[in-house]
Amino acid sequence: MLTSLNPSGESIIQMGSSIFPGVKVSLPTDGSSISDVVDFVLDHICKLNGSLAFMQNFLQSEKDKLEDLTNTQMETNRTNKQLIHFIEEQKKNVLMLKDEIKSRKEQLQKQEDLNYDVNQQFKELQERTRRYQMQNNQTEERYQLVCKKMDDLKLRIQNDYHQLNQKDKIFNWCRTIGTVNVIIWTLLSSVAGEKLTKGNPAITDLGDPNRPMKIGEKYGELYDNEWTDAMENIKTVKNYYHGLNDSEIEEIIIHHLHRLLKCCYKDCLARADHQILSLGEAFAETMYMSITTDEEIVNLPVCKEASAFRKERSKEFAICLYQNQSLCKNTIDDWNYKYKNGNVMQLLMTSTFYEKCIHLCWSMVIQDPVMYLDEDLTPKTPFDKNTYKEFVRSGDRVAYVVWPALYLYKEGPLLYKGVVQAYWKKSE
């Protein structure tokens, strides 16, 4: 039985070595009885069982530790993942903050540049203000000096005027009497010729360079030459009208030239009438004459002589009118035109065209009867092609007047055809 249980000592030793490797098992070899061997084996089994229980407890303890380590490792991994996620988020925030800092730096640099420019402009304005203030102070000093001189001059003028007042009255009276005598004697020698030419334009002095026919020729030359030269100001005039093309600027200049001519004629006519009427009234008052109408004033001998003398001096008087700039002061004020411009009118009033206008218009209004510059034609109405010729476009209706027609006198013979910009009625 024991042999079957433990056939040999070597088997028991192998069993112990296989269960507990590294533990050396020694069986009795001195011929002990089987019972001793069995006791030994049982005792050894008990020890092995104790060792096994110890090892199981140890393994369980290690297993528990391993589980704790595993849990700790998992928790650590979760914590690491959270930390990594947090770090990534912080990195993104850092990048965003860097971008924002960069943007703020750029904005700050732009603001600094802007502040620098503003400071430079402010310094320039301060310097300009300082210069203007100095100029203003100098101007004020000059003004005060001029005012003082003017006050002194006024005082001297008042004193001189008071002293000369009586002398002037006596001198003017003597001069008036002398002028009347000269006029009376001159009239006696010219009365026959005057009766022939008075109010009769058909009878003219062929030696007179300012006779109506010559004036008509000069009127045409004014349109052909000086008017054409004035139209070359398109580039200069264009600076006052942004966005308009050359053809529109050309039309604007035409309107301003036409307006200047008509105002010149109107002002010359008013000036000529005022001359004769004021002279006649002064003469009638001096002679204690009872005059009630303008016709009676014009027919006074002194007025007739003055008209003849004025014709002889027409060139000199026209030069004075141009140099003194005493005509066409209100060309813009009462003009109902969309594109009227004072700068354009001032430019044209410095041209040769305006100077020739004064000479011709003055020569027209001192004729007897007065030469007549046609009234403006109404736009969009038909026009007489015997009186007006077309400008650039042909047609049967008036767009606007370019150059007014000139008559020998009102409702008299035509001396020079006018010019209109025309269009056909069907194109309205």
54 found inside a domain: no
pLDDT, tens digit (0-9, with 9 covering 90-100), for 58-85: 999 999 999 989 998 899 889 889 999 9
pLDDT(192) > 90: no
Query: Burial of 90 by CB count in 10 Å (0-12 exposed, 13-18 middle, 19+ buried)?
Result: exposed
How many distinct structural domains can be found in the chain? 1
Structural domain includes residue 111: no
Task: Answer whether residue 325 shows pLDDT above 70.
Answer: yes
Q: What is the mean pLDDT of the chain?
A: 83
> Can you give the pLDDT at residue 340?
94
Q: How confident is the model at residue 212 (pLDDT cuts 50, 70, 90)?
A: very high
Least confident of 32-46, 155-169, 344-358, 388-402: 155-169
At residue 32, the pLDDT reads 60
pLDDT computed for residue 168 by the predictor = 52
- Segment 151-179 shows an average pLDDT of 59
359 within domain boundaries: yes
Of residues 242 and 205, more confidently modeled = 242
**Cα separation of 414 and 212, whole Å?**
11
Does the pLDDT value for residue 11 go beyond 80? no
Q: How confident is the model at residue 274 (pLDDT cuts 50, 70, 90)?
A: very high
- Highest mean predicted confidence (pLDDT) among 36-40, 167-171, 236-240: 236-240
3-state secondary structure 265-305: HHHHHHHHHHHHHHHHHHHHHHCCCCCCCHHHHHCCHHHHH
Higher local confidence (pLDDT), 380 or 155: 380
305/276 Cα distance (integer angstroms): 10
The pLDDT of residue 24: 54
Q: Is residue 176 exposed (0-12), middle (13-18) or buried (19+ Cβ within 10 Å)?
A: middle
Cα 54 from Cα 22, distance rounded (Å): 16
Residue 159 placed within a domain: no
Q: Which of 20-24, 264-268, 305-309 has the lowest mean pLDDT?
A: 20-24
**How far is 236 from 249, CA to CA, in rounded Å?**
10
What pLDDT is stored for residue 217 in this prediction? 95
Does residue 412 carry a pLDDT above 80?
A: yes
Three-class DSSP category at 27: coil
Confidence of residue 1 (pLDDT cuts 50, 70, 90): very low
Judged against a pLDDT cut of 80, whether residue 181 lies above it is answered with: no
Answer yes or no: are the C-beta atoms of 419 and 384 closer than 8 Å: no
For residue 121, is it within any domain?
no
**Which has more pLDDT, 57 or 33?**
57
Q: How confident is the model at residue 30 (pLDDT cuts 50, 70, 90)?
A: low
Say whether pLDDT at 220 is over 90: yes
Q: Is 327:321 a contact under the CB 8 Å cutoff? A: yes
* Full residue range of the structural domain in which residue 199 is found: 173-427
What pLDDT is attached to residue 13? 52
How far is residue 174 from each of residues 170, 184, 301, 348, measured CA to CA in Å? 6, 15, 18, 45
Q: What angle do CA 294, 297, 299 make, to 5 degrees?
A: 110
* Per-residue model confidence (pLDDT) at position 206: 56
The pLDDT, as a whole number, for residue 182 is: 41
Residue 174, pLDDT score = 46
* Residue 298 pLDDT > 50: yes
Instruction: Decide: 291 and 280 in contact? Cβ < 8 Å.
Output: yes
- CA 65/CA 335 separation, integer angstroms: 112
Per-residue pLDDT band for 273 (boundaries 50, 70, 90) equals: very high
Find the helix or strand (DSSP H, E) in which 349 lies.
none
Q: pLDDT at position 210, please?
A: 77
Instruction: Reply yes or no on whether the pLDDT at 416 is more than 50.
Output: yes
Q: Give the list of residues 6+ apart from residue 289 with CB closer than 8 angstroms, or none.
A: 283, 300
Classify residue 120: in a domain, yes or no: no
For 86-100, what is each residue's pLDDT tens digit? 999 999 999 999 999
Q: Is residue 190 part of a domain?
A: yes
Q: Is the pTM of this model over 0.85?
A: no
Distance (Å, whole) CA 392 – CA 10: 144
In a domain? residue 79? no
pLDDT of residue 201: 53
Q: What percent of the chain has pLDDT over 90?
A: 44
pLDDT recorded at residue 2: 39
201 vs 145, more confident: 145
Q: Which pLDDT belongs to residue 14?
A: 56
**Per-residue pLDDT tens over the stretch 90-146:** 999 999 999 999 999 999 999 988 889 888 999 988 998 888 888 888 888 888 877
First to last CA, the chain: 147
The pLDDT of residue 365 is above 70: yes
